Structure 1
């Protein structure tokens, strides 16, 4: 009644307001939460009452309930009239858009949301697209909502679509980068002092490299001055032009001027889009002041003529001579913070993802006794099998990663043998290749595994006596060799071609090269929540790594990498020259390496446990005993109890004085 009163107040002549009230009343079972929120923002009510040719995206009761369940802070924000008005304005589109206007080619519709929540000419945008024959709406963080009831028209040429998710108001570029796993970019902006400047720009297009892209040129970043980084970042920004993917795909090639001053070249190859030689991995991530397109490479303003190879699965870095680093650079101190977490998971479980997941699970359907790591000497890794089963039990997620942690010692292949000069030690050391050039065990270079364990190394091998201890266990040396006078040598004293021996600890590895748990997800919303779980568990390098190779009318199925490279380490411990294997370090050094590896096994297990708990908290439905009830059911129960008590109080006022009364405290046990 309060809503009807507000809508009629001074506006009785406007039939559209009355009709909207009727629509809300007729759909009370679905839209009662929206009806209750509108009276808190009379300015929005005033706007809607006089609106002509608008589209209202009306979140259902379930959409609001899920939002508040996922993020309790949402309830607090909804009580803030200014914030609530901004959220509701973002759900009103300029122009009447029927369901037939949704198509596989996205449209970007302007909303009523303007300053201070949006710095985009004409109002903040939403992305509309038909995906798998369902009308979808994409908002901040590329959150997706589905239209569940379409084309409810009302007077004034207006229409309502009921959606299953509350839209996320886009935030500034820095927060968007942090909360979508682009933490190296956020760190670069911070290091260069550009955060406030970029956030305050209007109508921007930002090409945002992934963390993997920054890692690929990690060695080059170390030699860049602050001025250089400012120039590189400016080369990724277009000002006073919001270029959505539909615009960038409108021509085979176009040249655009960047904020830094040099030009970039946009190239189209079928459904693929390239910026110079970098491929657009994720398009159209809305921000408060424009749009972000995620790139698989960092653009180089000193290499503006770089061109892509569309047939190649990955593009070469635009920084010649750069080598990769293990950890995402510039991420220190960058912490994810979100205002709105995606409230519901619009599953892609009916189409391509389901087929892929079923195929993957069929390949994993083997007895535990037959389940082992692919590396030589691997044993059953029960810890990771439990995590795999847990991930795969959640709708919208699937993984096949096979190893929860490994300590190994391997002998390089012959093709990477090091030739050490007889001159000074410094000259010899310069001849040692970097770790990326080494031929690991099991590869075509003929490397050999000397030791592999998926558990902490037992202390019993640290005998410190004639048995050789860790040198026998890890390097395969015989006790007589260990105790000989020439037990150790410096690397600079080796003569002839030598094959180096590496000691390595790798947490949570699916293969021998990357410390990563890969999770295929059914949608961008699933991916963001998996990244959130990884961040909460301590895997700061977590992020989406692949959205490539999908038809334009198919939903994105991101691959999320839960990286744990902060725990990994590697050390040279020996060499083999002319078939003779030698230790290059002391027993105490080997003992220290083993102790560090064992400690990191423990920390890795803790992180995996935290990740497991975070996944359950985010994805699993609430659990409890038979008396458990969700928040909505509890509110309804308490409302009914209150009504019964009110009736009882009325009866108490009219009954004889000597009639015993009902003690309301008797009901306390049901609260």
Structure 2
């Protein structure tokens, strides 16, 4: 009969295999061991998250990323804590406040797809304060079991065009990987209810926002392809290790580097040649 402790140890060994799509050399670094208590805490956090009610305004996962969220949550080493597929919104801000806060704003228009000039023109008369048009790209926060799991997801995000992605580690051991990018848009349209822009400029803004939304959808699709490929490779490597198909740790590291190189060579995670974003990677400690 297998004890709980031995089961957790086996899971820890399986989930600690790194998957690096950016720099295969990092795979040769010594693996960080995750204690059984940490793995147990992660399982507890994942269970708690699955029982929580969706408190977002929409109350459900956005359609464009529903399959991605389901795929991530089916993994033993991940679960999502928040997400948005990307949106174009017009908000009504209070002009008397120097610091904009969500609770002091009302939404005049929101879509997780493309918008039209009529959508903007119809929303503007509803503004009593400062109307601001925004495009906010795809964002997702994923809690990870180990740093190696977070590294795998981080490299998938970077290679998919989400260059502002990063990892944070809390004092209680929570490891959060944030998938983010920087191709945002924020433009004021009116002040104290008075429109400040022409219809021609509104048309230009709508075209710009829709182009950003199109690029956002492309990156989401690329992210899902890279994610599936990386997790398949990660599982295959783990299976080989546990089935005794490797003869030494040196061969294991070499095999991992070759597997990662195959992902890159196959072009599954190639970046957009027109992507202007610079690579931003960070590791922070939070409360």
Q: TM-score range by the shorter chain?
A: 0.5 to 0.7
Say whether residues 1:541 and 2:164 are aligned partners: yes
1:539 deviation in Å?
A: 1.0
* 528 and 585 in structure 1: CA distance in 2 versus 1, 3 angstrom threshold: same
Aligned to 1:476: 125
Contact 2:109 2:119 in 1 (8 A): no
Contact 2:87 2:136 in 1 (8 A): yes
Aligned to 1:362: 51
Distance across 1 between alignment mates of 2:180 and 2:17: 30
1:524 deviation in Å?
A: 0.8
Say whether residues 1:374 and 2:56 are aligned partners: yes
Distance across 1 between alignment mates of 2:81 and 2:124: 31
Say whether residues 1:569 and 2:255 are aligned partners: no
1:557 deviation in Å?
A: 3.6
Deviation digits for residues 67-121 of structure 1 (CA, Å, limit 9, x no counterpart): xxxxxxxxxxxxxxxxxxxxxxxxxxxxxxxxxxxxxxxxxxxxxxxxxxxxxxx
More relative contact order, 1 or 2 (CA 8 Å, 6+ apart): 2
Distance across 2 between alignment mates of 1:394 and 1:133: 20
1:363 deviation in Å?
A: 2.7
1:345 deviation in Å?
A: 9.6
Deviation digits for residues 307-350 of structure 1 (CA, Å, limit 9, x no counterpart): xxxxxxxxxxxxxxxxxxxxxxxxxxxx9534143798977685
Distance across 1 between alignment mates of 2:27 and 2:234: 17
Counting only pairs closer than 5 Å after superposition, residues 57-456 of structure 1 correspond to structure 2 as 336-341=22-27, 350-363=39-52, 374-375=56-57, 381-413=62-94, 415-416=96-97, 437-440=99-102, 443=103, 445=104, 447-456=105-114
> RMSD over aligned Cα, in angstroms?
4.1
1:384 deviation in Å?
A: 2.4
Contact 1:505 1:597 in 2 (8 A): yes
Deviation digits for residues 206-246 of structure 1 (CA, Å, limit 9, x no counterpart): xxxxxxxxxxxxxxxxxxxxxxxxxxxxxxxxxxxxxxxxx
* 621 and 385 in structure 1: CA distance in 2 versus 1, 3 angstrom threshold: same
Aligned to 1:105: none
Greater helix share, structure number: 2
Say whether residues 1:503 and 2:133 are aligned partners: yes
2:115 equivalent among 442, 457, 460: 457
Distance across 1 between alignment mates of 2:64 and 2:165: 20
Counting only pairs closer than 5 Å after superposition, residues 44-59 of structure 1 correspond to structure 2 as none
Aligned to 2:278: none
SS at match of 2:27: coil
1:402 deviation in Å?
A: 3.3
What residue ranges of structure 2 are gaps of 5+ in the alignment? 247-287
1:620 deviation in Å?
A: 3.0
Paired positions, count = 231
Contact 1:573 1:584 in 2 (8 A): yes
Deviation digits for residues 20-40 of structure 1 (CA, Å, limit 9, x no counterpart): xxxxxxxxxxxxxxxxxxxxx
Distance across 2 between alignment mates of 1:409 and 1:357: 34
* 574 and 379 in structure 1: CA distance in 2 versus 1, 3 angstrom threshold: farther
1:618 deviation in Å?
A: 1.6
Deviation digits for residues 121-179 of structure 1 (CA, Å, limit 9, x no counterpart): xxxxxxxxxxx899x9xxxxxxxx96x9xxxxxxxxxxxxxxx979xxxxxxxxxxxx9
SS at match of 1:400: strand
Deviation digits for residues 597-647 of structure 1 (CA, Å, limit 9, x no counterpart): 111111111111111122211223689xxxxxx8x99x99xxxxxxxxxxx
* 450 and 401 in structure 1: CA distance in 2 versus 1, 3 angstrom threshold: same
Q: Which has the larger radius of gyration?
A: 1
2:207 equivalent among 576, 580, 595: 595
Distance across 1 between alignment mates of 2:230 and 2:17: 16
1:397 deviation in Å?
A: 0.7
Distance across 2 between alignment mates of 1:381 and 1:602: 16
Distance across 1 between alignment mates of 2:228 and 2:120: 43
* 543 and 399 in structure 1: CA distance in 2 versus 1, 3 angstrom threshold: same
Deviation digits for residues 366-424 of structure 1 (CA, Å, limit 9, x no counterpart): xxxxx7x8247x886212222211111122111032320111111112541xxxxxxxx
Aligned to 1:517: 140
Question: TM-score, normalized by length of structure 1?
Answer: 0.30
Distance across 1 between alignment mates of 2:87 and 2:223: 18
SS at match of 1:391: helix
* 538 and 409 in structure 1: CA distance in 2 versus 1, 3 angstrom threshold: same
Distance across 2 between alignment mates of 1:345 and 1:612: 27
Distance across 2 between alignment mates of 1:342 and 1:382: 39
